Amino acid sequence: MLSRYLYLPLLLLSFFGLSAQQNAEIPAVYEQDAREIRRIYDQVLQNSSSYDWLHYLTKRIGARLSGTPEAAAAVEYTRQMMDTLGLDDVRLEPCMVPHWQRGTYEEVRIVHSNKVGSRDLKAVALGGSIGTGPLGITADVVEVHSLNEVDTLGAAGVAGKIVFYNRPMDPTRINTFNAYGGAVDQRALGAARAGKYGAVGVLVRSMTTELDDIPHTGSMTYLPDINPIPAMGISTNDAALLSRLLQEEEVRIFMRNNSSMATEKPSYNVIGEIRGSTHPDEIILVGGHLDSWDLGEGAHDDGAGCVQSLGVIEALKQLGYKPKRTIRCVMFMNEENGLRGGRTYWENSFKAGEYHLGAIESDRGGFTPRGFSAEGHPDIFAEGYKYISQWLPLLEPYGITFEIGGSGADIGGLKDQKGMLFGLVPDSQRYFDIHHTAADVLENVNKRELELGTAAMAALVYLLDQYGIKE
């Protein structure tokens, strides 16, 4: 019978005292702020619509590549959601966007290998790639690990061939964005570099540290005066296979796709704001980008950032908060393959003589937030960073810190307004498993993790509104 009376104290005991919440020592001057930030977190974690909005964006609308009807639907949906929040102003900002279309087929096949015979590889066209023509391209493959290696090989080494970029993302970098930054030049510029020497196509190892069967897309560009050639991404498992084969034999590849660039389409940034009571000309921006790649549902990239930004406004409204400064929420269009929305926004903002005191972009996935990266014009950055660092005791109880680093593609152009620019920094470990793939779907977003990002952004908006960025 004794076995029935399990001894439980240890089970209960080990769960206390683990939280960073215990360590907070809040200076007296910030006590009211600590209460406000607690209210913000309570509000968001209990009542935020962020996840429901993301459900609509991903499951009702789906992928939102610039120029598509789905991107237009997302513009209209988020405009309507802003309307329901009772903002002082909601408007669309027109911009023309590129309209790349994936086409109806995309194939990469090993057609000639003594070792594995004929074999289909998991492949997708890179975003922006031209098509191969209906007959496809068949050519020998040459493997390289950098753009420089293509220069070294020159026309003698690559002309008439398919160049296979196979430098992996470095798994030992703790922050996976650094690993991505160290490899993505192959995807972005690989076709242009290989085309310069007469290559007929490129294959690019997918941007992930994992070995799996999921091919990644993402933007690539052609350069003036260089013949454009088709570019496709292949899964890391297939990249590893192809590399092994190439160590022993020549491999012939067939690649075929009919993606193409359509005419530009009219589209919009979606902008809503709560006007400031005492400093309406000082703008605090929160935003993400509404467009996504066409694979998956654009759930983390960047549906998450959009609904978090909307959630910031919602929480402040629900709490009846009356900002001193203008709080503006922006859904940017076309971050993925053109940045037209961002550029248009900056241009109009500078023309109008606006001042963004602070801008926050969320575009690194809806994972547990760990802090904000901060950047700014050299004239103001050192002082600003020191000033905001005073707020750390208010944010650390929620696991939030500051670090120096890039903010976000859509807001970087505001730097000359000399405000502080921030990027939400979530845990980065899972992002490149799904980034720009068919796996970027709602099921891979955790509701609590998403909401904690919303709350962290709202807390920073609150502090920027209360205290500005200097004495």
Place of tokens 């001894």: 7
Q: Which of 265, 266, 264, 268 has its CA nearest to residue 78?
A: 268
Indicate whether 184 belongs to the interface with a second copy (CB under 8 A): yes
User: Does the protein bind a second copy through residue 425 (CB under 8 A)?
Assistant: yes
155 binds a second copy (CB under 8 A): no
Among the listed residues 202, 241, 330, 452, the single contact to a second copy using CB under 8 A: 452
What is the per-residue DSSP string for 144-211? ESSHHHHHHHHHHHHTTSEEEE-PPP-TT-SSHHHHHHTTTHHHHHHHHHHHHTT--EEEEE-S-SS-
26 versus 409: smaller Cβ distance to a second copy: 409
Instruction: Confirm or reject binding of residue 412 to a second copy (CB under 8 A).
Output: yes
- Within residues 309-328, the interface with a second copy by CB under 8 A covers none
- The window from 76-84, 235-243, 345-353, 368-376 that contacts a second copy (CB under 8 A) reads 368-376
The Cα-based distances of 389 to 7, 27, 350, 402, 469 in angstroms read 46, 13, 28, 7, 10
- When asked if residue 393 is in the footprint of a second copy (CB under 8 A), the reply is no
Number of C-alpha atoms within 13 angstroms, CB side, residue 458? 32
Size of the site for a second copy (CB under 8 A): 82
396 touches a second copy by CB under 8 A: no
Stretch touching a second copy by CB under 8 A, among 229-237, 268-276, 424-432, 462-470: 424-432
Q: Assess 180 for contact with a second copy (CB under 8 A).
A: yes
Q: What's the Cα-to-Cα distance from 253 to each of 130, 136, 198, 338, rounded to whole Å?
A: 18, 10, 17, 31
Q: Say if strands 355-361 and 279-289 run parallel, antiparallel, or are unpaired.
A: parallel
Question: Binders of a second copy among 1-20, rule CB under 8 A?
Answer: 3-8, 10-20
Is residue 223 part of the contact set for a second copy (CB under 8 A)?
A: yes
Our CB check for a second copy shows the closer of 196 and 325 to be 196
Options 31, 35, 42, 59; binder of a second copy; rule CB under 8 A: 42
Q: Which amino acid is at 471?
A: E
By CB under 8 A, tell whether 98 contacts a second copy. yes
Nearer to a second copy, 140 or 449 (CB): 449
Q: Which of 26, 189, 240, 380 binds a second copy (CB under 8 A)?
A: 189
Question: Which 134-153 residues touch a second copy, going by CB under 8 A?
Answer: none
Can you tell me which of 190, 358, 397, 468 binds a second copy, judged by CB under 8 A? 397
Give the C-alpha distances (Å, rounded to integers) separating 35 from 24, 238, 458: 13, 53, 14
Please report whether residue 443 would count as binding a second copy according to CB under 8 A.
no
Strand partners, 301: none
Q: Provide the CB-side half-sphere exposure for 134 (13 A, CA).
A: 0
How would DSSP label each residue in 323-357? -SEEEEEEEES-TTTT-HHHHHHHHHHHHTT-EEE
Select the span of 25-33, 317-325, 393-401, 461-469 touching a second copy (CB under 8 A). 393-401
Q: Interaction with a second copy in 341-360: which residues (CB under 8 A)?
A: 342
CB of 458 to a second copy, least distance (A): 14
